[in-house]
Chains A and B, each alone.
Chain A
Amino acid sequence: MNLRAQLKLSTLLAAGFACGLPALAQAEELSVVYRESPYVSAVMEAAKAEFEAEHPGDTIELNAISSSARDYYTKVSLMNQSASTAPDIIYEDGFQITADAAAGYLEPLDERLSGWDEWGQFSQIAVQNGKSFVDGKVYGIPLGTDTQAIWYNKDLLEKAGVGADWQPKTWQDILDAAAKVKENLPGVDPINIYVTKAGNEASTMRGLMNLISGTPGGLSATLFDPETQKWIVGSKGFRDALAFLKTAYDNGYLVSDTDLQDSSFQNVLVEQRVPEGKVAMFIDGNWIWARWIEGGTAPWAAWNETLGMAKIPTQNGQGNGFTSMSGGWTIAMSPNTEDKDLAFDFMTTVANFENSLTYAIRAGSIGVRKDVIADETYLETNPTAGFFSSLVEVTNFRPALEIYPQVSSLIQETMEAVTVGGDSVEDAAGRFDRQLTRLAGSSNVEKAN
């Protein structure tokens, strides 16, 4: 059949199809905006095909933006400023949900979600990443998440007398292990925790928050209380975490001052120091192994045998015993969408089992659906998936309010002051409290209990 005949046939078929279904609702077009990457595109295209097959006549217009995460956020914010350019469906970083919901760019989903039979599959903890910290409503359906742990070199811990199968139960256990490494393995840095301004957001999230989320009361007793909507000053947990970091620094358990002040150290650590066996323990995310696989930025075949993972313990082993910090992307809807039920249909297609599985496997992220994290293909393709998925039940999310970037900067400054800066915990924490009060306004802070 030549091309012309083919065209003629399809036109005829389409015409006949349209005439045969007079009751068909007016065809709708939904625009979807997302940040271009192989795994997001794969999921979106699969969802589009599936959705269009189920809703004949309606179309999905995919708008892939190829840019850095920060530029992507700026571009979507600009599109959202006018109802005529606002996309119907947005691939949204969970970290931006609070700010965007407050700005009126997102539609709350709670009612529709309660009618979705698959909603029960989603981990209630991971769902927090799609919620606004201000009103507690769900604005985004989570697609994947990430968690953090203490990666450690089994050989080094074995030689240091800690043992190759290591799981600290308290902060003190971490310090004890570091002390043994320091004593028995000269030339090896016991543990890496990001504690300076050079570490940027990694210092805030992977350094301090993994600690304060493990103090009694967690983040809501040490940083921001979602109940009262107030930032916390004068918290003991916050001071204890700083004291932990100060102890680690003062005893020489952390990497050198020069490394701590080097903004490119995050790459040096993962791509050189760890494979060279120069660092015994380091607190980092589940995604880090992707650098060592073939085709990664620093292939290292032995990583899976050499490294072990330990959960980050709470301060004294209280509560669930362990903690972690998470982020991750979601799928959200604009309030300007004309047919919200239809848009919601597309969102549930994106977040269904198959697509969530594709996303988790190809993005190397942690699944947020119970059926995904139990899936065999998922567990087989990612050797760390089982371990890191188990952390979702104890994880926490950053209070991403409007002033969060400044609070994060303040936290980094405070951590740097008690370590490299040599300040006392009380001085640095007092400065933190005063500065936080000024940033948030005195009516938006409260004293810790």
Chain B
Amino acid sequence: MAQGASGTGQGPAAVLMRIVPLAPATLMIVAFFLVPIIWAIYTSMTNLGLSGYAARNPSFIGFENYYYLFTDPRTWAALGRTAVFVGLSVAGQNIVGFCIAYVRQMATPAIQSLASVIVITAWVVPEVVAGFLWYTFLRGDESGMNQIFDIFGFAHQQWLLTAPLAAVIVINIWRGCAFSMLVYSAALQDVSSEVLEAAEIDGAGRMQSIFGVILPIIRPVIAINVVLTTLNTLGVFGIIWITTAGGPGTRSETLPLLMYNQAYDFGLIGYGSSIAVLLLGFGVIASLIYVRLFKVGEARNG
């Protein structure tokens, strides 16, 4: 612990000196994090509307929104889609990210930088732009993808309409794998070459050295990255909204899309808030796992 110039005195002045530096951070957290959360929880127990009578005179309705939420098959369908979306996105991002990182470290430095630039470009492009690029690439008979298919003589596909959930998962993996690649690149550098050489001398093939040596060594990083990408993916809205808007019908409607639809299409702000609170709950669970894994990692390294 740092020993400040003021020493470790017990007087009120000393206490104040400790509190003051913390105040801005605490205030920020309360103002921009705690208050909105409490407000959302409160709103979720009212019938607040976007316009009309329920906008001017919202009334407290207790847990009615939650009752509707959990008895509506639409919520469960959206929840199921969210699980598939998050599960496959996270798995895809981690596997693809690791593969790129692994292949990349074997290349020459010039190729390494080039690969980084290409992958990271996908990541730094704003979500709306990325979504729109994919939308134009996949949409319609004359889409870029179908023109490429023409060259190979494949039948035209309209995946945004025929397989919307799969399409948004692929798009999300494409966009998110750069983050995982960066994380795994750093982790791979920490795997000492001696260990790998030792494995090679013992006769381990490439696959054996990946599964038997590298992955066990970087396991804490994998765990943390999985939680981080889960947190990121849970709230994905822009990409889905732009490419499919949750449709056709409700076939790619995840919880964030359902929340938007209820709050703004139907003006049910209170009900939308209850979905926000549900999402927040999942986020909190993922965060707790993250914190726990982080502690485990620290204990091991420290």
Which of B68, B74, B139, B251 is A258 in contact with, Cβ under 8 Å? B139
Residues in B with CB closer than 8 Å to A406 are 265-267
Q: Name the CB-closest residue of B to A402.
A: B52
Q: Mark B217-257, 1 if CB is under 8 A from A, else 0.
A: 00000000000000000000000000001011111000000
B190 near A: Cβ within 8 Å?
no
Q: Name the CB-closest residue of B to A427.
A: B73
Least Cβ distance of A263 to chain B in Å? 11
Residues in B with CB closer than 8 Å to A261 are 161, 247-248
> With contacts A403-B52, A406-B266 known, is A416 near B141, CB below 8 A?
no
**What's the A-B contact tally at a CB cutoff of 8 Å?**
71
Q: Which of A414-440 contact B (CB under 8 A)?
A: 416-423, 428, 430-431, 434-435, 438-439
Report the interface size class on chain B.
20 to 34
Least Cβ distance of A247 to chain B in Å? 17
Q: Name the CB-closest residue of B to A441.
A: B47
A314 vs B268: C-alpha distance when bound (angstroms): 35
Query: Are the C-beta atoms of B249 and A428 separated by less than 8 Å?
Result: yes
Query: Are the C-beta atoms of A258 and B158 separated by less than 8 Å?
Result: yes
Least Cβ distance of A315 to chain B in Å? 24
Query: Are the C-beta atoms of B268 and A438 separated by less than 8 Å?
Result: yes
Which of B68, B140, B158 is A438 in contact with, Cβ under 8 Å? B68
Count residues of A near B (Cβ-Cβ below 8 Å): 28
Which of B53, B72, B248, B268 is A439 in contact with, Cβ under 8 Å? B268
Query: Are the C-beta atoms of B161 and A420 separated by less than 8 Å?
Result: yes
Which of A257, A417, A431, A438 is B161 in contact with, Cβ under 8 Å? A257
Least Cβ distance of A221 to chain B in Å? 24
Query: Are the C-beta atoms of B250 and A417 separated by less than 8 Å?
Result: yes
Query: Are the C-beta atoms of A258 and B141 separated by less than 8 Å?
Result: yes
A182 near B: Cβ within 8 Å?
no
Query: Are the C-beta atoms of A431 and B74 separated by less than 8 Å?
Result: yes
Q: Which of B249-280 contact A (CB under 8 A)?
A: 249-251, 261, 265-268, 271
Query: Are the C-beta atoms of A421 and B248 separated by less than 8 Å?
Result: yes
Query: Are the C-beta atoms of A422 and B248 separated by less than 8 Å?
Result: yes
A-B contact pairs, 19 of them (CB 8 A): A197-B245, A256-B141, A257-B161, A258-B140, A258-B141, A258-B161, A261-B161, A402-B52, A409-B265, A413-B250, A417-B249, A419-B248, A420-B248, A420-B249, A421-B248, A422-B248, A422-B249, A431-B73, A438-B268
Residues of A within 8 A of B (CB): 196-197, 256-258, 261, 402-403, 405-406, 409-410, 413, 416-423, 428, 430-431, 434-435, 438-439
